[in-house]
Amino acid sequence: MARNVRRLIVYIGAATLTAFSLTSAALPAHAVPNVGVNGEVLSKSLVPNGIHITPTGPVDVQFSVLIVDPGGSVGWHSHPGDVLVNVADGNATRYEADDKDCKPARFTVGEGWVEHPHHVHTVRNETDKPLTLNVVLITPAGMSPGVSEPDPGNCRF
C-alpha cells in the first residue's frame, strides 16, 4: 500500500512537471512594437510622497498648461478633486492656508506635488523668469476644477 502511494506521488509530480514545462514552452512572450506611433514626454515629475487618488464616481480629467509671469500667483484657491502638478520650467513656490508659519515649499523643473480636494493653497512665481506648470485636474464630473478662496491671513505678501 505504501509503495502504491509513493508511486502515485511520483506519477503526479512527473505529470505536473511535464504539464508545467509544456505550458511554458507553448506560450512564448513576444513584444509587439508600435507601428506608426510618434510621441514625446511633455513633462515628468518625481513626487516623493507618492500618489493616492480615490475618486468616488465619474470624473472629468483636464490637462492644462499654466504660465505664471514673474511676480505672479494663482491666488488662494482649492479644488473639488485631486490635482497633479509638474514644474515644466522655472521655479514654483507653494503656500498652504493651514500653515500658520507660512513656510514656502519650493519646486523646480522636474519636481511636482499632489493637491488633494478642498486643501486651500496658493502658488507663486517669486522669480524674474516665467513659470510653466503642467497640471492634471481630476474633478468630479460637471464641477468647476477650481474654487477661489479668501486670503487666510497667514502669509504677508
Q: What is the pTM of this model?
A: 0.74
- Whether residue 116 is predicted with pLDDT greater than 80 in this model: the reply is yes
More confident residue, 6 or 137: 137
The confidence score (pLDDT) of residue 5 equals: 42
Helix (H, G, I), strand (E, B) or coil at 52: coil
The confidence score (pLDDT) of residue 133 equals: 98
What residue ranges define each of the domains in the chain, with the CATH number in brackets? 59-148 (2.60.120.10)
**22-46 pLDDT tens trace:** 444 556 678 888 898 888 888 788 8
More confident residue, 131 or 39: 131
The confidence score (pLDDT) of residue 15 equals: 44
For residue 21, CA distances in Å to 8, 10, 13, 24, 51 come to 20, 16, 12, 5, 40
pLDDT level of residue 136 (50, 70, 90 thresholds): very high
Q: Interior CA angle at 99 toward 98 and 103, to 5°?
A: 150
